[in-house]
């Protein structure tokens, strides 16, 4: 089984979060991290998920990192 080439996929940090996300963030009673920090953490989690799949670590590793997204 060959894995698809994902090298062209990326998420541009600093991209405008959009009015819907901005309205949601403004309605929270606490501060949130900047959008660029959110995207940096998201990229890191996706990287770890890809590494788990490449290593065929479906039990512990993939479940742990997948739970970070939910």
pLDDT averaged over 10-residue windows placed end to end, the chain, 70 residues: 62 64 86 84 90 89 86
d(Cα 39, Cα 50) in Å, to the nearest integer? 16
pLDDT of 22: 79
Domain span including residue 40: 33-69
> Domain tally for the chain?
1
pLDDT of 35: 78
pLDDT of 19: 80
d(Cα 16, Cα 22) in Å, to the nearest integer? 9
8 within domain boundaries = no
10 within domain boundaries = no
d(Cα 23, Cα 7) in Å, to the nearest integer? 33
Among 25, 8, 7, smallest CA distance to 16 is for 25
pLDDT of 18: 75
d(Cα 36, Cα 51) in Å, to the nearest integer? 23
């Amino acid at each position: 089984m060959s894995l698809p080439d994902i090298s062209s996929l990326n998420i541009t940090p600093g991209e405008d979060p959009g009015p819907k996300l901005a309205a949601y963030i403004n309605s929270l009673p606490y501060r949130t991290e900047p959008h660029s920090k959110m995207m940096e953490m998201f990229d890191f989690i996706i990287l770890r998920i890809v590494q788990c799949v490449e290593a065929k670590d479906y039990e512990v590793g993939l479940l742990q990192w997948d739970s970070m997204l939910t």
